[in-house]
């Protein structure tokens, strides 16, 4: 009789949960333009995740800032400034 082994959880319990953010103050058109510029470089961007996972958003913006495309670099810097103006997770404004 074969025995089954339990797989460890995908995420260790000691790892902090991703920071969540509501991006109501960031124009959707700006996010979409960033996504399109990233796609032109072959770098996917998940817009819903950009709206709820601050760490993912910062990683995508950092990658965009490494591009040779001046417009993409500028879009990444602008988005970064937009995200920095948002309240941190758990803060009420």
Answer for the pair 23, 51: CB distance below 8 angstroms, yes or no.
yes
Share above pLDDT 70 across residues of the chain, in percent, rounded to a whole number: 68
* Structure token digits, residue 9: 């959880």
Answer for the pair 17, 53: CB distance below 8 angstroms, yes or no.
no
Is there a domain that residue 17 lies in? no
User: Tell me: the pLDDT tens digits for 80-91?
Assistant: 999 988 876 544
Instruction: Kindly provide the b/e burial profile for residues 56-75, where b requires at least 16 CB atoms within 10 angstroms of the residue's own CB.
Output: bbbebbeebeebeeeebeeb
Range of the domain at 64: 28-85
Answer for the pair 80, 60: CB distance below 8 angstroms, yes or no.
no
Give the pLDDT score at 90.
47
Is there a domain that residue 55 lies in? yes
pTM: 0.69
Is there a domain that residue 38 lies in? yes
List, in order, residues 6 or more apart from 48 with CB less than 8 Å away: none
User: Tell me: the pLDDT tens digits for 39-62?
Assistant: 999 999 999 999 888 899 999 999
Is there a domain that residue 40 lies in? yes
Q: Could you give the number of structural domains in the chain?
A: 1
Q: What rounded mean pLDDT belongs to the chain?
A: 81
Answer for the pair 93, 87: CB distance below 8 angstroms, yes or no.
yes
């Amino acid at each position: 009789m074969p025995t089954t082994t339990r797989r460890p959880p995908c995420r260790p319990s000691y790892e902090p949960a991703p920071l969540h953010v509501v991006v109501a103050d960031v124009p959707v058109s700006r996010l979409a333009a960033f996504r399109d510029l990233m796609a032109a470089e072959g770098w996917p961007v998940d817009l819903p995740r950009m709206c709820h996972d601050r760490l993912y958003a910062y990683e995508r913006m950092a990658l965009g800032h490494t591009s040779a495309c001046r417009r993409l670099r500028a879009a990444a810097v602008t988005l970064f400034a937009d995200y920095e103006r948002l309240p941190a997770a758990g803060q009420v404004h």
